[in-house]
Structure 1
Amino acid sequence: MKKLQYAIVALCFCACADDLDQTNPNQLTTANYWETPEQALAGANAIYNSMLVDGAYMRIFPSLSDGRGDGVKADSPWADLVQVSNFTIPTTSAPVQWVWRDSYLMIGRANQVLANVPDIEMDAALKDRILGQAHFLRGLAYFNLANNFKVVPLVTTPPAGTEDYNPETAPEDALWELIRNDFRAAADMLPVNYRDVSGPDAGDLGRATKGAATGFLAKAELYRQNWQAAADGFAQLVTGPLAVYSLMPDYRDNFLQVNENNAESLFEVQFASPSEVGGADMNWAGEPLATWKQVSAQAVTYGADEYGYSDFLPTQWLYDAYKSERTVDGGVDPRLLTTLASYEPEANSTTIYGNEWPYAEDKIYPRKYTRDGFPGIANEFDFNSGINYRLMRYADVLLMYAEALNELGRTEEAYGYIQQVRDRAKLPDLAEVHPNMTQGEMRERIAHERALELALEGTRINDIIRWGWLYDGDKLAELQAHDAEFTSWSPGNEYLPVPQRELDVNPNLSPNSAN
């Protein structure tokens, strides 16, 4: 089976003025494009392509998400990254503008597919799969916008005229309702896998599946504190008809350019090195070129001094948290040295990128999603990382299921799902070391388990916000002790500001709490 390779398709069509008789035969228009099954599939592929640019998952979106958590602090000469990390973000921040821009790029392409593919004569099952992927990816884009900007315009159709160019900011509830509806539609339309389908997408790895849509729907319900709906969704993945996922034996298999799209992965962004798919030009942004690469720049952004830009460093709190509990055989939590690069002679780890540790012994760097340990990689400054970015893993599903159960008063049931994650890390039985926890104590334990299992995966700031920690005096003090950058947080600034450029050109757009 092959990994999905994203088509380099712009899907930005022009319309000629009515008083012109001549038509450029080399310029596609809406009227002459959406006609064949091949064009429908290319349209779906173009939505995936929008995840490869800088404001999406190539570099900036993961960086701004990690930087705002308490496990990561900025260490960059680039002021924008520092300001995002310490919650003093100007409305003119370029990286924030890129996140907004590329999210709506993804939405715009999904809207074109949803508007035009239904009228194409083609195999019904393939059409459903294409429409299901468009619903999933649009839902994902709005999920990211809702979590990062809180309120944004709701655009669900291609613009029919200039009157559609300035959409109004939508109510928060309407935004989340669209997210849920898109994920529901995707779950109804998508297959469990692409091994058992027939058509041009048969065997493709990397396309959205029923499990991915179900997982993100349940996650959306969890974020909105709809505990029963969340638990019901996660149950489908854990004990129900979609229980096709499992934890990989080796935690590190989830963050390398090998063993991608594995049994633990519900959905991941498909990056590839030029040796796999070619390309000579970096896929930073703009309209895609046939010569575009499909690489990730996150490895360079997070790479240690002399091997990358070291734009972010782990906090001492995160490092100490990994050391707070020994494994059943008395060792160090094995997730430490997958997530962080540190000098650990006790764990027989005194190298970085294959070389002897050149830094002070108390120095800590990110390792997850960097290419430390890859054969033949001697210089992280090579901008050609093909490591897929995992958006949802089965470990996250287990921990979210445990959280939903705990909030429903089923605290004892939560133990077993947390323990599956702990077992891989060789940690003691939670029911023995922390028996009979109250609901409140279990909340704290789940927060701890999520911090360690999902560090440097862009989830921590979302957890902090949805749990209300920033508006709880004790919790805020705790966050400030973890990461001094939280001392400059002020109410509302947990969100990214609506970019000033968008406010300037759209009179119907409202600022948010961070503006």
Structure 2
Amino acid sequence: MKIYIYSLLVGAMLAGASCDSQLELTNPNIPTTGTFWKTESDAVAAVNSIYNSLMIDGTYMRMFPSLMDGRGDDIQGDSPWPDLNLVANFTIPTTSGPVFWVWGAHYQMVWRANQVLTNVPNIEMDQNLKNRVLGQAYFLRGLAYFNLANFYKEVPLITTLPADRSEFYPATATEEAIWEQIISDFKNAKANLPVNYQNVTGPDRGNIGRATSGAATGMLGKALVYRKRWAEAIVQFTELIGGQHGAYRLMENYRDNFDPRTENNAESLFEVQFATPAEVGGSELNWGGNPTANWTQVSAQAITYAARGYGFNDFLPTRALYDDYHKEMTVDGRKDPRLLATIASFEPTENSTRLYNDPWPHPVTDIYPRKYTNDGFGPSVEPVFRSGINYRILRYADILMLHAEALNELGRTAEAYSFIQQVRNRAKLPNLATVKPGMSQAQMRDQIAHERFLEFAIEGQRINDLIRWGWFENPAKLAFLKSRDAEFNTYTPGNQWMPIPQGELDNNPNLSPNSANN
């Protein structure tokens, strides 16, 4: 089931004031701050506009996943577009368009969320609905800053609307302040959101795709892990594993997590609701800018990642990823089933000899991304910018693996085995406690890194893991990465994060390049 989050550019109302004091024109077709923020419908429309920001090129429509994936050792650039390759080899300049698009789209999310959090409390409306609207705004602002902090490291922290021009140029915040705000936003979201929307009263009743208390709990736990607050993270994960925020479970079929026919399933805590024009209408592509009623709700990731001859072929899986899927056979003597859900490769022993609907058309040694493409789900080639595959931001498998990691970091290594094994069981891999019993804390860290590499490949996770584990500062680990992906050979310290866009630095005298890139 797809839902359509209708767009509303609430920010235009505050940007429309005339600079000429002798002439003020008001467009009667655009609401203003004086006519908006009055009703329950205004509140719901405003929070819907934040979701709209998840579906443009600087967020999950295309560019954010691309720039995240490209920097990992699971995928490498193979694009005629220089920016994608320069990101992948850690040499992207501050003037890069895609790096700026990510900045602009995420601050659009922040701007819209701040308007909701400032104005909705003053609207007379059903209190439970108001709480849900505010909870979603907190969640989406927390998600925006989670992405900004992981992408750029240090950015301005904006949580209120500017009172006057003196507040138009916010300073760079400390990394600690940004993460404290992320954690605070997810806590507030958790306190205000329902388990689901099936039994609520209001216009959001029955909606699928809105943030829930489970999504907020999971992102809160993940943020705490990223700050190495292990014990606090375990409290959050235990609630999810215990079922307090929804009956989450692993899907039996790993590929159900990337199949347009099995979206919003029991493993999904939060995903972006893409849809084809045939499902929800629209004729104008949702790249960004001012939304209109004709906007589509499509993802461009599928055609960007699709194999040569079927799409743009902008990225290729690394041979290291392909090889790592072969390190263990399943208990019934087959290849790890995540291999062919993640990578399109010629595997006659696994009855996989086709690409899309065709007999394998390339050298049998070629490998291409399959995850988040329509290979096996739709037409024989990718329809241009027309994918409806939802982007899964948080899966229950991640909760289990992060929980295991937190246990290990607290010295409870023996307890970590069972949570890792749940993920391995779906892949039909042997019992880890049998094949690698009694691992030390350090050995378990390496094992978790390997398990996460295979489970979350081509999901924008790897670069965040490498950064938070400190692998770029560890000579042995950096050498390991260089041996697996030649793009790491041009890495220089600090460039695991993206540079602050030059245009922003030029326009804001209080903004600094992030400290890592200096």
TM-score range, shorter chain: over 0.9
Match of 2:463 in 1: 461
Q: For residues 154-233 of structure 1, what are the structure 2 equivalents within 5 Å?
A: 154-233=157-236
Moved more, 49-58 or 233-242: 233-242
Q: In structure 2, which of residues 405, 408, 415 is the aligned counterpart of residue 406 of structure 1?
A: 408
Q: For 1:381 and 1:81, how far apart are their aligned partners in 2?
A: 21
Q: For 2:285 and 2:246, how far apart are their aligned partners in 1?
A: 38
Q: For 1:386 and 1:501, how far apart are their aligned partners in 2?
A: 33
1:136 correspondence with 2:135: no
List runs of 5+ in structure 2 lacking aligned partners.
Answer: none
Q: For residues 298-309 of structure 1, what are the structure 2 equivalents within 5 Å?
A: 298-309=301-312
Q: In structure 2, which of residues 333, 347, 350 is the aligned counterpart of residue 347 of structure 1?
A: 350
Q: CA deviation at 1:256?
A: 1.3
Q: In structure 2, which of residues 45, 51, 66 is the aligned counterpart of residue 48 of structure 1?
A: 51
Q: CA deviation at 1:4?
A: 2.9
Q: For residues 108-507 of structure 1, what are the structure 2 equivalents within 5 Å?
A: 108-239=111-242, 241-242=244-245, 244-375=247-378, 377-507=379-509
Q: CA deviation at 1:447?
A: 0.5
Q: Give SS of 1:33's match.
A: coil
Q: For 1:22 and 1:317, how far apart are their aligned partners in 2?
A: 60
**Aligned 8 A contact 1:4 1:207 in 2:** no
Q: Give SS of 1:55's match.
A: coil
Q: For 1:119 and 1:15, how far apart are their aligned partners in 2?
A: 22
**Aligned 8 A contact 1:236 1:243 in 2:** no
1:62 correspondence with 2:65: yes
Q: For 1:105 and 1:453, how far apart are their aligned partners in 2?
A: 31
Q: For 1:381 and 1:249, how far apart are their aligned partners in 2?
A: 29
Q: For 1:340 and 1:321, how far apart are their aligned partners in 2?
A: 12
Q: CA deviation at 1:158?
A: 1.9
Q: CA deviation at 1:379?
A: 1.7
Q: In structure 1, which of residues 85, 98, 107 is the aligned counterpart of residue 88 of structure 2?
A: 85
Please tell me the residue identity of whatever aligns with 1:60.
M
Listed one character per residue, the Cα deviations across residues 345-371 of structure 1 (whole Å, up to 9, x for unaligned) are 010100010100011111000000000
Q: For residues 9-48 of structure 1, what are the structure 2 equivalents within 5 Å?
A: 9-11=8-10, 12-13=12-13, 14-15=16-17, 23-48=26-51
**Aligned 8 A contact 2:2 2:275 in 1:** no
Q: CA deviation at 1:206?
A: 0.2
Q: For 1:200 and 1:281, how far apart are their aligned partners in 2?
A: 27
Moved more, 461-470 or 231-240: 231-240
Moved more, 47-56 or 11-20: 11-20
Listed one character per residue, the Cα deviations across residues 193-227 of structure 1 (whole Å, up to 9, x for unaligned) are 11121110001000000000000011000000011
Listed one character per residue, the Cα deviations across residues 166-206 of structure 1 (whole Å, up to 9, x for unaligned) are 11101111100110000000000000011121110001000
**Aligned 8 A contact 2:69 2:458 in 1:** yes
Count matched residues. Answer: 513
Q: CA deviation at 1:165?
A: 1.2
Q: CA deviation at 1:15?
A: 3.2
Moved more, 313-322 or 231-240: 231-240
What TM-score do you get using the length of structure 1 for normalisation?
0.98
Moved more, 277-286 or 311-320: 277-286
Q: For 1:27 and 1:448, how far apart are their aligned partners in 2?
A: 52
List runs of 5+ in structure 1 lacking aligned partners.
Answer: none
Identity %, equivalent residues: 59
Q: For 2:32 and 2:117, how far apart are their aligned partners in 1?
A: 17
Please tell me the residue identity of whatever aligns with 1:182.
D
Q: For 2:429 and 2:443, how far apart are their aligned partners in 1?
A: 19
Q: CA deviation at 1:23?
A: 4.1
Q: For 1:59 and 1:368, how far apart are their aligned partners in 2?
A: 14
Please tell me the residue identity of whatever aligns with 1:304.
A
Q: CA deviation at 1:239?
A: 2.0
Q: For 2:172 and 2:404, how far apart are their aligned partners in 1?
A: 34
Q: For 2:189 and 2:30, how far apart are their aligned partners in 1?
A: 32
Moved more, 116-125 or 152-161: 152-161
Q: In structure 1, which of residues 67, 73, 77 is the aligned counterpart of residue 76 of structure 2?
A: 73
Q: For 2:26 and 2:351, how far apart are their aligned partners in 1?
A: 68
**Aligned 8 A contact 2:209 2:272 in 1:** yes
Q: Give SS of 1:32's match.
A: coil
Q: CA deviation at 1:27?
A: 2.9
Moved more, 445-454 or 235-244: 235-244
Q: CA deviation at 1:43?
A: 0.3
CA RMSD between the two structures: 1.2
Q: For 1:243 and 1:285, how far apart are their aligned partners in 2?
A: 33
**Aligned 8 A contact 2:274 2:389 in 1:** yes
Q: For 1:514 and 1:6, how far apart are their aligned partners in 2?
A: 37
Q: Give SS of 1:281's match.
A: coil
